[in-house]
Amino acid sequence: MIELKNVIKKFGRKEVLKGVSFTAEKGEITCLIGINGVGKTTIMNAIMALTPINGGSILIDGEKIHKGSYEKITFIPDAMTMPPNMRINDAFQFMADFYDCWNQERANEMLSFFKLQKEDRISNLSKGNTAKVNLILGLALDVDYVLMDEPFSGIDIFSREQIAEVFTSHLIEDRGVIITTHEINDIEHLIDKAVLLDDGIILKEFNTEEMREEEGKSVIDVLREVYRG
Ligand SMILES: Nc1ncnc2c1ncn2[C@@H]1O[C@H](COP(=O)(O)OP(=O)(O)OP(=O)(O)O)[C@@H](O)[C@H]1O
């Protein structure tokens, strides 16, 4: 389980996270929902210890993140982090050199699922194909937890459908996944838990299936209630 307890983050005098607490379980897809600039990426960076926090704590399976945790958790950003002159195959090699948990077989499987070629140069990839390569680089790691920043943002409908298919496949299955979005429509049916963020605090955290069964409400119904009052 990933557990955030009362996390505070300031940039200068601006307090972006004002005591954020929520949990994300293994085997579940947790979606962090909020408008642009509300602090979703900051939360991802804080979980990965890529940015220091000013208060509270973040635990992964009960432990503070340490060097070894990077064989257990990965972050798929919304932009390419590999050098543009690399080919996809070079990026795979880079990951293989860097991570013990790199799974080449799974990378190849995803590459053919997305109909991409190993020889393709990163700089020549479309936005949709960049997102797919990012997804491969993250999901071909045998890690328990995967963080994804806006995996559907700015991507055409067919690519979105392909990515959605990955979410319901064995590639995700038992892992704990946290994704961020400011646009829930595409992924409402894929997520197990919704965490609504606004102005540095969590407004609501709920299990989507329970909400549907017990109160007859979709995630969008709850969003309307919470954000529009
Ligand atoms: N390095 C930084 N220095 C100063 N302010 C920052 C920094 N990074 C983020 N911020 C500010 O923190 C706030 C939250 O940013 P963040 O990127 O986490 O939001 P977000 O919810 O991910 O937005 P989006 O949906 O646009 O990606 C914003 O007001 C942003 O300007």
Token digits of residue 49:
């210890």
pLDDT in tens, 125-138: 988 899 999 999 99
Establish whether residue 40 lines the binding site of ligand 1, counting it when its CB lies within 6 angstroms of any ligand atom: yes
The C-alpha atoms of residue 18 and residue 25 are separated, in whole angstroms, by 23
The C-alpha atoms of residue 205 and residue 207 are separated, in whole angstroms, by 7
| pLDDT of 51 above 80 | yes
Q: Give 66's pLDDT tier (boundaries 50, 70, 90).
A: confident
Token digits of residue 51:
């940015």
| pLDDT of 151 above 90 | no
Query: pTM of the full predicted structure?
Result: 0.92
Establish whether residue 45 lines the binding site of ligand 1, counting it when its CB lies within 6 angstroms of any ligand atom: no
Phi, psi for residue 30 in degrees, rounded to 5: -105, 130
The C-alpha atoms of residue 48 and residue 81 are separated, in whole angstroms, by 15
pLDDT in tens, 162-200: 888 888 888 888 999 999 987 788 788 889 999 999 989
Query: Which secondary-structure segment (H or E) carries 61?
Result: none
Q: Give 26's pLDDT tier (boundaries 50, 70, 90).
A: very high
What is residue 44's predicted lDDT score, i.e. its pLDDT?
A: 95
Establish whether residue 182 lines the binding site of ligand 1, counting it when its CB lies within 6 angstroms of any ligand atom: yes
Which structural domains are found in the chain, ordered by start?
Answer: 2-228 (3.40.50.300)
With the CA atoms of 159, 72, 7 and 53 taken in that order, what torsion angle do they form, in degrees rounded to the nearest 10?
-100
Atom of ligand 1 lying closest to residue 44 CA: 18
Helices 127-139 and 88-98, axial angle in degrees (round to 10) = 30
Token look-up 């995996």 returns: 151
Establish whether residue 138 lines the binding site of ligand 1, counting it when its CB lies within 6 angstroms of any ligand atom: no
Helices (H), the chain: 40-47, 88-98, 104-113, 127-139, 157-167, 208-215, 219-228
Within 13 Å of residue 189, how many CA atoms lie on the same side as its CB?
5
What is residue 45's predicted lDDT score, i.e. its pLDDT?
A: 94
- Residue identifier of the C-alpha nearest atom 28 of ligand 1: 37
Phi, psi for residue 193 in degrees, rounded to 5: -140, 140
Quote the ipTM score: 0.95
